[in-house]
Copies of this chain bind each other. A is one copy, B any other.
Amino acid sequence: MSDSTGHGHVVLLSGGVGGAKLALGFDRLLPRGALTVIANTGDDFRHLGLDISPDLDTLMYTLAGIVNPETGWGCRDESWQFMAALEQLGGETWFRLGDRDLATHIERTRRRAAGETLTAITADFCARLGIGSRLLPMSDATVATRVDTDAGLLDFQDYFVRRRAAPVVRALHHDGAAGAAPSPAVLAALADPRLAAIVIAPSNPWLSIAPLLAIPGLRAAIAAAKAPVVAVSPIVGGAAIKGPTAKIMAELGLEVHNAVLARHYRGLVDGLILDTVDAGETAAVESLGVRAATTATVMHTLADKTGLAAFTLRFAATLA
């Protein structure tokens, strides 16, 4: 379970901003190369003719230390001249693309059109940005999250960005997931004998983690892995740390309670980490056969992030 440095390897399943915080914690805690992040690409879409991968990019910018610290996504020291000029030309401006960020989309689109996989392009970008961890899209196939709402069946970014997650969610679909295969790199990471833990980041379970688990081969590889599987809950004090998790749970008729999350992940996770304020929900979680542990899960500082990563590893060791 440990390599020569005394640390095991970790696979983190992650969405965007929330998960990226824990990804950075592991990246800084572990020796270079010991972390593999498998990113949700269900949010990916084609916009203005460009292939955009919001969660991959948020993770990449975060791990490279160039993320916008105020938003948690996009680039630090970003400028918006492109958007201003596009608006003048009558182009669509509801999805904001910064001038620096555009380089990622344009170069990725060009390389994909030339036949490279998203996995290969992402690996090359990460190497050029000096990232030590491995960042993998969940699949090289297209999986598109679609949101069935009271405003109709919406593409993910239409729901999430253009309509600011306002429509009432009835159901989520992951178009293409059933036929999508995890990449060889994803399967190899999950089968790595050095793996100390598979961690599900405190990302939105329904919007960001569900697309990963909707890929049959990925779910099966997690289930088959020998390493313990630990989820960090995004539900803190009966609300979501960030984003519309609580709103969506309510719309899906679910109580905003960690026992509901434990039931959602049951059969897949061995343990669930709750925030200290939710210590009272521990018993309900454990009654479902999911081990629970509590710590401070709200991450502001880098120390918060590495601290939560270290706690997660220690908890995983007790489940092994």
Residues in chain A within 8 A of chain B (CB atoms): 48-50, 75, 78-79, 81-86, 88-91, 98-104, 106-107, 109-110, 113, 124-125, 128-129
Contact A102 B102 (CB under 8 A): yes
Q: List 29 A-B contacts (CB under 8 A).
A: A48-B106, A48-B107, A49-B106, A49-B109, A49-B110, A78-B81, A79-B81, A79-B99, A81-B98, A81-B99, A81-B100, A82-B82, A82-B100, A82-B103, A83-B103, A85-B99, A85-B100, A86-B103, A88-B103, A88-B128, A89-B103, A89-B104, A89-B125, A89-B128, A90-B107, A90-B128, A91-B107, A99-B99, A99-B102
Given the complex, which residues of B lie within 8 Å of A78, measured CB to CB? 81
Given the complex, which residues of B lie within 8 Å of A83, measured CB to CB? 103
| Separation of A88 and B101 alpha carbons in the complex (Å) | 12
| Separation of A82 and B50 alpha carbons in the complex (Å) | 15
Contact B110 A48 (CB under 8 A): yes
Smallest CB gap from A113: residue in B? B49
Contact A82:B109 (CB < 8 A) given known A90-B124, A104-B89: no
Contact A75 B85 (CB under 8 A): yes
- For the complex with contacts A49-B49, A85-B104, 20 further pairs of A-B residues with Cβ separation under 8 Å are A49-B109, A78-B81, A79-B81, A81-B81, A81-B100, A85-B99, A85-B100, A85-B101, A85-B103, A86-B107, A88-B103, A88-B128, A89-B104, A89-B107, A89-B128, A90-B107, A90-B124, A91-B106, A99-B99, A102-B102
B75, B86, B113, B128: the one contacting A106 at CB < 8 Å is B86
Contact B103 A91 (CB under 8 A): yes
Given the complex, which residues of B lie within 8 Å of A75, measured CB to CB? 85
| Separation of A81 and B82 alpha carbons in the complex (Å) | 10
| Separation of A50 and B125 alpha carbons in the complex (Å) | 20
